Structure 1
Amino acid sequence: MADQRRSTVLERTPTPADIKRWRQYLADERAEAAVYRDLAKRRDGEEQQILLALAEAEGRHEQHWLNLLGEHADTAAHPSFRNRLVGLLARRFGSVFVLALAQRAESRSPYATDADATDAMAADEAIHEEVVRGLATRGRNRLSGSFRAAVFGANDGLVSNLSLVMGMAATGVDSKVVLFSGVAGLLAGALSMGAGEFVSVRSQRELLDASMPTQVTLTAAPRLDLEHNELILVYLARGMSREAAEHRAAERMGQFTCDCDPSLSLQPEEFQEANGHETLGTAWGAAAASFCFFASGAIIPIIPFIFGMTGLGALVLAAALVGLALLGTGAVVGLLSGASPLWRGLRQLAIGFGAATATYVLGLAFGSVVG
């Protein structure tokens, strides 16, 4: 079926529209292959081989369009803006964001509905989307949690302080009061976020420390009553089967020194140190980072007031600045999740402005009651 479809295309005389479309496909295939090769340069092992295989597949697609274009292949079109952007990012960064963009590009392949593309090419593009999704998922899993904290912390600062500023302004108070309220909201929110992050990480470390078994079994075992061996209870509580617990207790109490059953290997207990990200130093680092992330978002709504603007103009500019920032954070979240950056940005914008509008209405109501 695919061969018949291809021969039919080759037999017909291409129209100018066909040539234009094929040249665009050719340019995009070359750009996509270059993206995968650039990404492969920054990887090694299995991931590098996967990316090179994707580039090779795009090369087969490129050859298909070259065959169709024939003498018309001399004048190449420019890749689409999306592919040029992805290529630039791949050369400069090679990050998970590039894979997320490549995933979306593969999902939008027109080959499934284009009669000039073979069935195999359409199937390739569908598979490529899943391959890139898998690679992007690996990258998302490796992505630092602090980066996600930066995005969401900044978003919290944007929404909460914009809401505070608009709510205070709606009551009719002086612009200086609005500014001081915004600064207070920034400091209070950032300190709260920092303290909460410190307590969270520190508490996790303390819980891990409390759960880590001690070496008491090595020191207390020789003095235990052989007939009432509570040492078995220790190992049962740790999740061992009774047979394994009895075997371990017998060795600890010196009843024998050899392991007759390898499956009940009774090597001395060795416990790993707590993970590096759970140390006290990291708790302080997490607190500082959380403070800065929140403050970086919370300062934006008060920028107009810092520079002396007042009234409706200051509120409009604050809302505009926050709106741009919300679109940016939403787009980043969309890329990380493999979803549409535009729609995620618009959703973030709607949520943020919804909260600010509700607070503004409440401020109006409170101002009218007090007034």
Structure 2
Amino acid sequence: MTPSSDSPATAPVTHEPTPAEIRRWRRYLADERAEAAVYRDLAARRTGEEREILLGLAEAETRHEDHWRTLLGPHVGHPRRGSLRSRLLGFLARHFGSVFVLALLQRAEARSPYEADDHATDAMAADEQIHEEVVRALATRGRNRMAGSFRAAVFGANDGLVSNLALVMGISASGVGSSVVLLTGLSGLLAGALSMGAGEYVSVRSQRELLEASTPNAETRHKVPLLDAEANELALFYRARGLGAEEAEAKAAAVLGGGHAEHTGPSPAVGTDEHEAVGTGLGAAASSFCFFASGAVLPILPYLFGLEGTVAVVVAAVVVGLALLSTGTVVALLSGSSPVRMALRQLAIGYGAAGATYALGLLFGTTVA
């Protein structure tokens, strides 16, 4: 269950609520109801501890609903719809239930207005701040589960988008024909994807070889029973693995005196999990190749469909711009940052690189002419 305070005491209202207060409280009530529904929808797609935590958050939001309902009294009126943001979160939670919903909820909890509202209790404001941290922790679990492959896909595609758009823009600005631009774009796609794949293969292979070099020799286990119990090097092994001198001596004595040395000595299984986490070189290379190519193909789509000149350049820039906004949004949701800010940053970086190469293309095209 989420750490939250007891039911908050209702802030006293000594006057007849003004129309502005009634509107604000009804909006709060609708948003609390909508957020509680989102947490329940997410809980329905979870099991175990995460389900219990989400139901605990929904229960806390229900207590906040009761607070505003009590304040409103006869002015509560018919249930209002939540804000557009709350309704969007509800739709995403019902149909997807992914880490992206938790990331958006994290930001929503961070923007709670209760801290500055005199009619919200201190306990409610504290609840909302705790909710932000609880949702942050749940979102972090989801990010960690998907971070490896999904993040590699997003960043690989983004690299392809930016590099090939810059290449296509630069060549187009030099004044060459569309067929040359298309050929250059295809060459950039292939060269970049192969480079990414080869680099990833070398990186993963090197990491696996480093792990293999750090894994104890399997044959060593069978020599442990033959060690001299009074003067042996098994303690040195444990010290080399990070234990202190006394702890290493005690563990070595326990292993040699316990009659189960074959099972507790240096084990070849050390590093097995790390090997699985790293993956295979060929698998990583193929993934990087495909991710990069999926982004790099977009800038050349207009040329593949027969567009030419300025029209092709503009269409390529628009298509890639939309893709950059999408990747920026995904990265922001994975990292818990502002989706708008991150999307615009990705767009600025991509267009900045493309603009620079376009200017160079104009310069060199004029110089050659």
Q: Is 1:6 the counterpart of 2:3 in the alignment? A: no
Residue number among 51, 55, 74 corresponding to 1:52 in the alignment:
55
Deviations along 1:83-135, one digit per CA (max 9) or x if unpaired, are: 11111111112111111100111111112222332222222212211221122
Q: Which runs of 5+ in 2 are unaligned?
A: 1-7
The AA in structure 1 aligned to 2:25 is W
What CA distance in whole angstroms lies between the structure 1 residues aligned with 2:176 and 2:87? 50
For residues 1-371 of structure 1, what are the structure 2 equivalents within 5 Å? 6-7=11-12, 9=13, 11-218=14-221, 237-239=240-242, 258-259=257-258, 267-272=264-269, 273=272, 275-279=275-279, 282-371=280-369
Deviations along 1:138-174, one digit per CA (max 9) or x if unpaired, are: 2222224010001101100000000000110111111
The alpha-carbon distance between structure 1 residues 35 and 221, as it changes in their structure 2 partners (threshold 3 A), is closer
- Aligned-CA RMSD value: 3.2
CA shift, 1:235, in A, is 6.0
SS at match of 1:127: helix
Deviations along 1:227-269, one digit per CA (max 9) or x if unpaired, are: 99777766665556666777888999xxxx5249x9x999333
The AA in structure 1 aligned to 2:284 is A
Identity %: 64
CA shift, 1:290, in A, is 1.3
Paired residue for 2:4? none
The alpha-carbon distance between structure 1 residues 66 and 238, as it changes in their structure 2 partners (threshold 3 A), is closer
The AA in structure 2 aligned to 1:109 is S
The AA in structure 1 aligned to 2:96 is F
What CA distance in whole angstroms lies between the structure 2 residues aligned with 1:134 and 1:352? 32
CA contact (8 A) 1:248 1:266 kept: no
Deviations along 1:19-60, one digit per CA (max 9) or x if unpaired, are: 222222111101100111122222333322221221111111
What CA distance in whole angstroms lies between the structure 2 residues aligned with 1:110 and 1:297? 40
The AA in structure 2 aligned to 1:314 is A
The alpha-carbon distance between structure 1 residues 225 and 139, as it changes in their structure 2 partners (threshold 3 A), is closer
Which deviates the most, 329-338 or 113-122? 113-122
CA contact (8 A) 2:161 2:320 kept: yes
Which deviates the most, 217-226 or 49-58? 217-226
Q: Which runs of 5+ in 1 are unaligned?
A: none
SS at match of 1:14: coil
CA contact (8 A) 2:221 2:262 kept: no
Larger radius of gyration: 1
What CA distance in whole angstroms lies between the structure 1 residues aligned with 2:66 and 2:10? 16
SS at match of 2:257: coil
CA contact (8 A) 1:24 1:79 kept: yes
CA contact (8 A) 2:218 2:268 kept: no
CA contact (8 A) 2:10 2:71 kept: no
SS at match of 2:175: coil
SS at match of 1:339: coil
Give TM-score scaled by structure 2 length: 0.87
The AA in structure 1 aligned to 2:89 is V
What CA distance in whole angstroms lies between the structure 1 residues aligned with 2:26 and 2:102? 25
CA contact (8 A) 1:217 1:231 kept: no
What CA distance in whole angstroms lies between the structure 2 residues aligned with 1:319 and 1:13? 57
CA shift, 1:346, in A, is 0.4
CA shift, 1:13, in A, is 1.9
What CA distance in whole angstroms lies between the structure 1 residues aligned with 2:60 and 2:181? 59
The alpha-carbon distance between structure 1 residues 5 and 250, as it changes in their structure 2 partners (threshold 3 A), is closer
The alpha-carbon distance between structure 1 residues 51 and 235, as it changes in their structure 2 partners (threshold 3 A), is closer
What CA distance in whole angstroms lies between the structure 2 residues aligned with 1:141 and 1:270? 28
Paired residue for 2:5? none
Deviations along 1:66-92, one digit per CA (max 9) or x if unpaired, are: 112223323122111111111111111
The alpha-carbon distance between structure 1 residues 218 and 121, as it changes in their structure 2 partners (threshold 3 A), is closer
CA shift, 1:191, in A, is 1.4
What CA distance in whole angstroms lies between the structure 1 residues aligned with 2:305 and 2:57? 52
What CA distance in whole angstroms lies between the structure 2 residues aligned with 1:127 and 1:276? 36
The alpha-carbon distance between structure 1 residues 249 and 77, as it changes in their structure 2 partners (threshold 3 A), is closer
What CA distance in whole angstroms lies between the structure 1 residues aligned with 2:262 and 2:247? 9
CA contact (8 A) 2:22 2:75 kept: yes
The alpha-carbon distance between structure 1 residues 161 and 23, as it changes in their structure 2 partners (threshold 3 A), is same
CA contact (8 A) 1:259 1:266 kept: no
